[in-house]
Amino acid sequence: MPELQRLRPDHAPAVLAFEKANRSFFAASVPDRGDDFFTDYPPRHAALLAEQEAGVCHFHVLVESGEVLGRFNLMDAAEGAAELGFRLAEKATGRGLATTAVHDLFDLCRTRYGLTELRARAAVRNTASRAVLRRTGFVETAEQVQLNGERGLGFIRELIQSR
């Protein structure tokens, strides 16, 4: 069973392998990261860990048998809110893994990160991500967003704190 894990230094090779293996799959629904992302990945990973250590972001990977199947990130955390971003490997789609991982993140938001609101954005052509957001209780906002020059939609989800 896949496990949602907080990003660690030793995840770097598996995250890079995940991104490389799924590059064309991701490019079909979100703007491509560009060649520099792949050639300069180790410093990028270190920068993510530094942001996480500072409490600005909370990065997670969905791992099964040492392989990364997805990335689930809480970015720009401040004043009880953060932005959710996620991507799932092509071979892991259609199994409800993204929906489950987002629900697991809700628990972490409440118990570990002190977050009460999540925002998300999805490209209009990214029907899978929009479906996950809706299934997990996100509501579309009137906000029209641009994602690397591409039209997208904004979403919001209020989180009720555990007692």
Which CATH number does the domain housing residue 149 bear? 3.40.630.30
**Residue 163 scores a pLDDT above 70:** no
pLDDT at 5: 98
Query: Tens digit of pLDDT for each residue in 86-133?
Result: 999 999 999 999 999 999 999 999 999 999 999 999 988 899 999 999
Report if residue 163 sits inside a domain: no
Return the HEC string of the chain: CCEEEECCHHHHHHHHHHHHHCHHHHHCCCCCCCHHHHHCHHHHHHHHHHHHHCCCCEEEEEEECCEEEEEEEEEEEECCEEEEEEEECHHHCCCCHHHHHHHHHHHHHHHHHCCCEEEEEEECCCHHHHHHHHHCCCEEEEEEEEECCEEEEEEEEECCCCC
Examine residue 27 and state whether it is found in any structural domain, yes or no: yes
**Tally of domains within the chain:** 1
- Look up the pTM and report it: 0.92
User: At residue 161, does pLDDT exceed 80?
Assistant: no
pLDDT digits (tens, 9 = 90+) for 40-87: 899 999 999 999 999 999 999 999 999 999 999 999 999 999 999 999
Q: Which residue has the higher pLDDT, 138 or 36?
A: 138
Domain containing 85: what range? 3-158
Examine residue 23 and state whether it is found in any structural domain, yes or no.
yes
- In-domain check, residue 59: yes
Residue 128 lies in a domain: yes
